[in-house]
């Protein structure tokens, strides 16, 4: 099963996705695939908050770019937190759009259950610079790809989720 939780920043999507992947876990401890690179103090605080919340309920893998590579032999349910940060990492490391889309498609082909977290960036205005527009466009492309392919899609707002699919 592939599930998407999409919403704005601090919409509750991470907490709701964590709860969902824990519900999916039976005998195997779920994997928490953290994509954030520790770059500054503010991100360090966010990472610490997420680590504390998940405690020892998950096996944590920290990987900023090569998601399929670290999951290809995995059988446990997986939470990928989050694809928005992963996209930022990929763009920062100048990964091509083709390879970005290929990575998402390959994730969808993995046999394990995956819960994806993605920020909805399309509710705002069109960005005023080319890099931000490219990011928004790629994020929207990823969202549409996941929305079509996932078995379940949840939109998160104010700590609540509405099942779209």
Catalytic residue among 7, 50, 146, 155: 50
Q: Report angle CA 20, 6, 114 to the nearest 5 degrees.
A: 45
For the chain, 165 residues long, give each residue's pLDDT as a single digit of tens. 999 999 999 999 999 999 999 999 988 999 999 998 777 788 778 777 777 777 788 999 999 999 999 999 999 999 999 999 999 999 999 999 999 999 999 999 999 999 999 999 988 888 899 999 999 999 999 999 999 999 999 999 999 999 999
* Structural domain boundaries in the chain: 2-163
Give the global pTM.
0.92
**Could you identify the residue written with the tokens 């919340």?**
53
Q: Is 93 a catalytic residue?
A: no
Residue 13 has φ and ψ, to the nearest 5°, of -65, -40
Superfamily of domain 2-163: P-loop containing nucleotide triphosphate hydrolases (3.40.50.300)
């Amino acid at each position: 099963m592939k599930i998407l939780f999409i919403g704005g920043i601090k919409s509750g999507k991470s907490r709701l996705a964590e709860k969902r992947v824990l519900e999916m876990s039976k005998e195997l401890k779920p994997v928490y695939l953290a994509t954030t690179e520790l770059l500054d103090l503010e991100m360090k605080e966010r990472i610490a908050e997420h680590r504390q919340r998940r405690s020892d309920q998950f096996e944590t893998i920290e990987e900023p770019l090569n998601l399929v590579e670290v999951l290809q032999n995995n059988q446990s349910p997986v939470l990928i937190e989050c694809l928005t940060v992963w996209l930022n990492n990929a763009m920062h490391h100048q990964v091509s759009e083709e390879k970005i889309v290929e990575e998402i498609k390959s994730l969808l082909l993995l046999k394990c259950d995956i819960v994806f977290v993605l920020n909805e960036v399309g509710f705002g205005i069109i960005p005023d610079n080319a890099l931000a527009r490219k990011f928004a466009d790629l994020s929207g492309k990823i969202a549409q790809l996941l929305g079509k392919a996932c078995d379940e899609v949840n939109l998160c707002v104010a700590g609540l989720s509405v099942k779209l699919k």
